Structure 1
């Protein structure tokens, strides 16, 4: 998602761009993704928001407020997350997002079946991408947008250990008709807004989609007894599991939760990975990382994709400015790193903390009141970030650079 968006943004800025895709065609796993207020602002600034809205579940962004209830017992109400008028977002399937962007992309700049195996640097400062098919491509700048299992990231972290680890959390995903769930006896209003059922090392999130006709369900389960990173999960990180496995994970939960999970047919199980510790740099020489390649995070704030969009927004503003040229390219990406890394790494950490909060109910010393206190303002630093302030920082850096030239 971020790679195509970046290519479109850089092409609009008049920069010669080439996309090297390992797969034989563009493809996305059909999971839905939520885009919050900050993500929509970035898309608007990049000039693609209208195209994306045409493919979204909602043509008009809607309120993103969550309701939190207990998973066990009678699903006691805990907290309604308050929102401001501008706290709106959308849900969209990843394939639909791809369909929105592809018409904006020049097909001549895309090269398929190009799996990067190594990157070399010349004496002139250019980089050569080497591919598994024996070909190579020389470029002034490499943008690694190759996702959570990034190859390009290896050339940024160099000799450091791979920070990608299993979070000890799995997620079971499914779509179920809202009518079916209501007919089966679910009392919780799942159509109005997202709902989070919280529990001890478990939580379930539901989202109304497709005009509130369908409910997107994600049920999380964590083994908190294990040290994060102590277990290695072999590929693939998504598998089909039995309905019994899913229900057994939530034994003892309340009626609505059990009905919801009981209507999931052929659930898929996702092994959640993230970067721990976060990267100490998103750049090396003229190599720069964006999106999950830079800051793969847990999904508990629904903000990973949005952080990637912010990466693209800042990088395109820097590289597309008249004061940026080959002579100061490394200075430009250092500015990108100084702006984006502290913020994206903060969101990465906060996302992990959010998961711990959702799964604290039922633990010793955790009360409804303490949980409510922890939930207050949990999205504020993500949603209310001032993108305009980032651009002020970019412009200040560029003006200072011009004065030195």
Structure 2
């Protein structure tokens, strides 16, 4: 048992962006003892470019990791610095409009680069590797997490940041009297690749295609498909994600024996977009060996916490990537938890209540972002019931639909949480 005078022992399971960001913030506080457990032998992120909205950039700054982020982040160059995406028709790259994020624009980074920058700041002894969580046991006062190597760790509070395939989520749901929730296949797959920006410029120049399409993040829209491009690695590479949706089934299934990510052929990718225009065709021709990703998500959960165990990031609300908001929601989780747990009045006696308030404040917003991320995909692929393929309505909708997401004030969330906790 922890005495009120002892350090609050917090364990974080999962060494992705959200887990490491939370650990970094919490380990700065003398009254907290932080241990981070990662299943892999070293930190590493799956994927390539990740985009952050204005809300996520504020969370990054609030977590004290703004400087390392800005050192490696990509921004749209002037005079287009406020543009998040330009929207275009896939058939001819015709301009539909742009979404503007003042002061932020398209802020993106290579996932592995960002995680590496964060991990370098972790104090020695915080991270433990090759520790895959297997089970959780809880008493009134402590939590014990068991790992596949037979070791165990006891703490006052356990935070699961172990992704969409979380091994701890089912414990929380069982405690809430809810059946287990497994990731579900969305019916959408994504072809991904990275292109040397000079290679793409040369190809566009040779075909007489405007190089502006390389300078500014683009989203090409079409029936049952859409393609996004944005720069990473300080503009040296162009991150390309080409989505295609199979709408033949109401309940699409991904074969259990097939990996979610696999190598595929350029021919298959080009066939999926054979009716699209030259800008798209040449773009995809610059990706000789794409990978194919089966996009999975979670249903909205009835709760993110049980007892002394809480979920953050994709373990709680894995979503489709269509608003560039998934990683940002994990960072918002980390920001709010870090602000609350940093309070000196938090101890082993009231930490369960802190988790309950975190859930009450964060879950409604995260669930809305999950829901609207799916809706965004329908909009991009001309399947929105109100908008369809009406170009003027599509342009107007895209110009403003992200404002509520980006302009969210997390300080209001913190004030609400503090009020619920009775803190002045």
TM-score, scaled relative to structure 1:
0.92
Q: Provide Cα deviations, 1:357-387, integer angstroms capped at 9, x if missing partner.
A: 0001799963212322332312112110001
Choose which of 366, 372, 387 in structure 1 pairs with 2:410: 387
Secondary structure, aligned partner of 1:353:
helix
CA shift in 2, pair 1:20/1:365, >3 Å: closer
CA distance in 2, matches of 1:146, 1:83: 30
**1:170 aligned partner:** 189
1:69 aligns to what? Answer: 88
2:344 pairs with 1:326: no
Post-superposition offset of 1:118: 0.5
Counterpart check, 1:97 vs 2:140 = no
1:120 aligns with 2:142: no
SS in 2 for 1:104: coil
Report the equivalent of 1:18.
35
Partner SS for 1:66:
strand
Asked if 1:46 is matched to 2:63, the reply is yes
Q: Match of 1:16, SS? A: strand
Q: Which runs of 5+ in 1 are unaligned?
A: none
* CA contact 1:67–1:194 (8 Å) conserved in 2: yes
Task: Give the Cα–Cα distance (whole angstroms) in 2 for the partners of residues 59 and 222 of structure 1.
Answer: 29
How far is the alpha carbon of 1:78 from its aligned partner? 1.4
Give the Cα–Cα distance (whole angstroms) in 2 for the partners of residues 88 and 206 of structure 1: 14
- Rounded to whole Å, the distance in 1 between the matches of 2:180 and 2:72 is 40
Determine if the alignment matches structure 1 residue 4 to structure 2 residue 25. no
Sort the Cα spacing of 1:211 and 1:107 in 2 relative to 1 into closer, same or farther, 3 A. Answer: closer
Mapped partners of 1:239, 1:98: distance in 2: 23
Unaligned 5+ residue runs, structure 2?
1-16
- Contact 1:179-1:213 at 8 Å conserved across structures: no
Question: C-alpha distance in 2, partners of 1:107/1:9?
Answer: 15
CA 87–25 in structure 1, closer or farther in 2 if over 3 Å, else same: closer
Counterparts of 1:361 and 1:251 in 2: how far apart (Å)? Answer: 20
CA distance in 2, matches of 1:188, 1:357: 26
Q: Contact 1:200 / 1:361 at 8 angstroms: preserved in 2?
A: yes
> What are the superposed Cα offsets for residues 177-229 of structure 1, whole Å, 9 maximum, x if unpaired?
33233234233622332111111101111113344443211100001122245
Deviation at 1:233, TM superposition (A): 4.5
Alpha-carbon distance, 1:26 to partner = 1.3
Native 8 Å contact 2:313 2:330 kept in 1: yes
- In the alignment, the residues of structure 2 paired with residue 325 and residue 238 of structure 1 have an alpha-carbon distance, to the nearest angstrom, of 42
User: Structure 1 residues 210, 104: CA separation in 2 closer, same or farther (over 3 Å shift)?
Assistant: closer
TM-fit CA distance, 1:305 = 0.5
How far 1:388 sits from its partner (Å)?
1.4
Which of residues 81, 85, 97 in structure 1 aligns to 2:99? 81
Match among 150, 154, 171 for residue 155 of structure 1: 171
Note the 1:122-201 alignment, pairs <5 A.
Answer: 122=139, 124-158=140-174, 159-176=178-195, 177=197, 178-185=200-207, 186-187=209-210, 189-201=212-224
In structure 2, the residue matched to 1:299 is 321
Contact in 2 for aligned 1:53/1:59 (Cα 8 Å): no
Q: Is the 8 A contact 1:166 1:232 kept in 2?
A: no
Cα deviation digits, residues 59-116 of structure 1 (max 9, x gap): 99943421111112x33221222343x3445211111112211222122122111111
Partners of 1:165 and 1:30 in 2: CA distance? 19
| TM-score, with structure 2 as normaliser | 0.88
Query: Are 2:283 and 1:265 equivalent residues in the alignment?
Result: no
Q: Judge conservation of contact 1:114–1:132 (CA < 8 Å) in 2.
A: yes
> 1:244-297: CA deviations, max 9, x gaps?
100110121111111111221101111111112x11101111110011111100
